[in-house]
Structure 1
Amino acid sequence: MAEAFLFDLAIEIMTKLGSHAIQEIGLYWGFKDELHKLNRMVSTIKAVLLHAEELSSENRQIKEWLSMLKDAFYDADDLLDELSLKALQKQVMTGTRMAKEVRLFFSSSNPFAYGLKMAHKIKAIRERLDEIAENRKFFLEERHEERRIAANKGRDQTHSFPPEVVVGREHDKEAIIELLLKSNDEENVSIIPIIGIGGLGKTTLAQLVYNDEKVKGQFELKAWACVSDDFDVKLIVEKILESVSCQKPNSSEMDALKSLLHEKIIGKKYLIVLDDIWNEDSEKWNRLKDLLVGGARGSKIIITTRLRKVAELARPIAMYELQGLPESESWSLFGKKHSSEDKW
């Protein structure tokens, strides 16, 4: 289903537009307002994509409309990737030849002219999307709900095992661990989201923290659940119980699962990782939170997500926004991954 993919792509574009790196580069070159306008336009279109998904198989006009959207979204995504690369180049450490070349680019090139050029490109994409939206001659409902699952598309399930290759995340790991070990006098169970665009290493960071010796010594019980597209409370509880007991629960009835979960966590200081969350439904999130009460003071839940809205929905004690690696460490990671693959 191409439309479900478009919904995903809209979320990805909005996440990139809201990232610290893109915002910083927009401020640097003077087109932050254009980025904000583009974000609002993509958000407006995203609201009707779920309904378009339902109707497109039987409506050629909607299918053609979505095809035009797809081309425009691709161009927007490519432009944001270019801006993200410029932001990373700007952060390159001084002292290297590359850094000097980057500094030369930013200083000797006319930053005003470049900023104006990029502002025109962003504006052109926004106006193109606006025209596509205006030319829609059919009714679509706005549906502000969690992502619909495409039958032919799923996400890989993650696991709690430590990653084989890690570069440049020691500082991030220690920062998360500090938040984990910090006491919270207001409530027994606290939530810490790790947020960032796709591919930055949110899951890898969570795995590093989960397997750290200091963390192991601080929590009586640990569990990992990959949530991904389907925020099904019963399924999440089953995954938590399976992670704790190393076997699937005998019953699939919600009442029995609730009793089993309560039995496992009551009075214990626990750490639970909920990886790759997309849910924007506060009612579902509150249902899960209600099932996880009863842990001892100091219990923590780490969630990883691309969406700030999802993180804010969880009412966290703190949010950790993961940034891209410096270019030197990115190349080091690239080399190590390929070296590992060559061994096979």
Structure 2
Amino acid sequence: MEDILDEFAYEALRRKVMAEADGEGSTTKVRKFIPTCCTSFTPIEAMRNVKMGSKIKEMATRLEAIYAQKAELGLDKVATITQSTWERPLTTSLVYEPWVYGRDADKTIIIDMLLRDEPIETNVSVVSIVAMGGMGKTTLARLVYDHAETAKHFDLKAWVCVSDQFDAVRITKTILNSVASQSSIDSQDFNQIQDKLREALKGKKFLLVLDDMWNDNYGDWCCLQSPFLSGS
């Protein structure tokens, strides 16, 4: 089939070159308004058209055969199951530090940023750790999250694995269950959950890690951070 596609590409290029050569020659202006198919129609062109038509029919027949084989082998069902059941691995704040090397400088820089008390308009500062997959973003966040200086500086801490499905209700509930002194919250009412989280964070310094964050919708972020504004 690849040979057929290559032949199609060659034929398309050949016709394009012939048409450009025909347009740039010593033809009259009237000739340029006549379709190329009418001016270049020769027995050889007719034979080429018949040949390409048979090639297209051959490729269509082979594609139909491949599609039938896919259905017989159940490959379409396998693809559907794979897409619906695969999920990104969850992450936690737990880390075994002796396994980590070469992150001391980065850890120190981020901790210094977090411990710096600077008044800002929104009362919420954000530190982003951005890199390609496998570069150690989650590990670095764990080292900062579990550091002794960080624990002393913040009244409350919460770790949420966001993953590719941004669920504001789930994220807010996870934060609330991490920082609230009462038992876990089972309510699904987003307004009620946010209101309780706002009360839990009110007047307190908190550190929140949103790990594996893919959503870049500014509206979703504004909605999620509304309760954060009550913090210290």
Normalising to structure 1: TM-score of the pair? 0.41
> Could you say which residue in structure 1 is the equivalent of 2:107?
173
Q: Distance in 2 between matches of 1:242 and 1:163?
A: 24
Paired amino acid for 1:175: I
> Could you say which residue in structure 1 is the equivalent of 2:44?
none
Are 2:161 and 2:212, in contact at CA under 8 Å, matched by a contact in 1?
Answer: yes
Pairing 1:269–2:202 present = no
State the percentage of identical aligned residues. Answer: 41
Q: Distance in 1 between matches of 2:223 and 2:161?
A: 17
1:226-273: CA deviation from partner (whole Å, max 9, x where unpaired): 101111111110111222248631322112211220121011011100
Pairing 1:282–2:215 present = no
Find the partner of 1:193 among 111, 128, 146: 128
Q: Distance in 2 between matches of 1:162 and 1:242?
A: 21
Find the partner of 2:163 among 215, 220, 228: 228
Q: Distance in 1 between matches of 2:186 and 2:144?
A: 30
- SS of 1:198's equivalent? coil
Q: Distance in 1 between matches of 2:196 and 2:224?
A: 14
Are 1:163 and 1:208, in contact at CA under 8 Å, matched by a contact in 2?
Answer: no
Unaligned runs of 5+ in 1: 1-59, 65-149, 297-344
Are 1:267 and 1:294, in contact at CA under 8 Å, matched by a contact in 2?
Answer: yes
**Structure ranking higher on relative contact order (CA contacts 8 Å, 6+ apart):** 1
Size of the aligned set, in residue pairs, is 150
CA RMSD, aligned part only? Answer: 2.1
Paired amino acid for 2:135: L
> Could you say which residue in structure 2 is the equivalent of 1:251?
187
Paired amino acid for 2:207: L
> Could you say which residue in structure 2 is the equivalent of 1:183?
117
Q: Distance in 2 between matches of 1:159 and 1:170?
A: 20
Find the partner of 1:211 among 132, 135, 146: 146
Aligned counterparts, 1:286-301, within 5 A:
286-296=222-232
TM-fit CA distance, 1:191:
0.4
Are 2:160 and 2:209, in contact at CA under 8 Å, matched by a contact in 1?
Answer: yes
Are 1:163 and 1:204, in contact at CA under 8 Å, matched by a contact in 2?
Answer: no
- SS of 1:191's equivalent? coil
Greater Rg over alpha carbons, structure: 2
- SS of 2:95's equivalent? coil
Q: Distance in 1 between matches of 2:178 and 2:90?
A: 13
**Residue 294 to residue 245, structure 1, CA distance change in 2 (3 Å):** closer
> Could you say which residue in structure 1 is the equivalent of 2:96?
163
> Any runs of at least 4 consecutive aligned residues in structure 1 with deviations exceeding 4 A, and if so which?
none
- SS of 2:129's equivalent? strand
Q: Distance in 2 between matches of 1:236 and 1:207?
A: 18
Are 2:201 and 2:227, in contact at CA under 8 Å, matched by a contact in 1?
Answer: no
- SS of 1:151's equivalent? helix
TM-fit CA distance, 1:186:
2.1
TM-fit CA distance, 1:210:
0.5
Paired amino acid for 1:153: W
Find the partner of 1:154 among 80, 87, 92: 87
Q: Distance in 2 between matches of 1:197 and 1:178?
A: 24
- SS of 1:274's equivalent? strand
